Amino acid sequence: MCPLDQPSHQPSHQPSHQPSHQPSHQLTI
């Protein structure tokens, strides 16, 4: 639960809230 509390510094393991690094949203466009 630690990472959930501070996913700001560790969005690498949590792409759920940070799909920015994922081309998934680019494929839609």
> How many angstroms separate the first and last alpha carbons of the chain?
33
**Mind listing the pLDDT tens digit for each residue in 1-29?**
565 665 565 555 555 555 555 565 565 55
Give CA–CA dist 16/20, Å, rounded.
Answer: 10
Q: Residue 10 has what pLDDT?
A: 56
Q: 21 by DSSP, 3-state: which? A: helix
Give CA–CA dist 5/15, Å, rounded.
Answer: 15
Q: Residue 6 has what pLDDT?
A: 59
In the numeric block, which tokens belong to residue 20? 């920015």
